[in-house]
Amino acid sequence: MMNPFDLSGKAALVTGGNGGVGLGMAKGLARAGAAVAVAGRDAGKGGIVQLTKALASAWAKDNIQVNAVLPGWIDTALTRRAREQVRGLHERVLARTPAGRWGAPEDLAGIAVFLCSAASDFVTGTAIPVDGGYSAQG
């Protein structure tokens, strides 16, 4: 939790309070719920979502938007290793994801571009899941 908080002060210095965009990433599974074994990590990531809201409220008057992207299960080297180590992980993710596939890193690009563009000038304090509907399953 301290790294994103420390980073928030640096973002304020960079933008100088004259407008800008703060964009954070927090694992979407923190919102969807996960195993007890990772509860501490996921609680911290949930804290990032709350920090996003707090900073958005504090900095909106300076025309600084702060939002978070919540990636779901994305096909990366890290998740490929997890699939090798955790029997059935691949199939369980596919079964729970309405889109029926693992995300690709490119799936995150569109929302990041939107949040960094003028099209999102009135969007602040939100956490947007990019997870193929995984978090909608409750």
pLDDT band per the 50, 70, 90 thresholds, residue 4: low
User: Whose CA is closest to 28, among 88, 72, 67?
Assistant: 72
Q: What is the pLDDT of residue 47?
A: 82
- pLDDT tens per residue across span 6-44: 554 444 444 445 555 555 555 444 444 444 445 565 666
CA angle at residue 92 from 75 to 98, to 5 degrees?
Answer: 75
What's the pTM value of the predicted model, to 2 decimals? Answer: 0.72
Across residues 43-60, what is the average pLDDT?
85
Q: Left if phi > 0, otherwise alpha if psi is -120 to 50, otherwise beta: which for 71?
A: beta
Strand ranges inside 39-117, DSSP E: 64-71
| Chain centre to alpha carbon of residue 47 | 11
Domains and CATH numbers, the chain: 2-12+20-132 (3.40.50.720)
**Residue 135 corresponds to which amino acid?**
S
Question: What pLDDT is stored for residue 14 in this prediction?
Answer: 41
User: pLDDT of 56-103, one tens digit each?
Assistant: 999 999 898 989 888 999 999 999 999 999 999 999 999 999 999 999
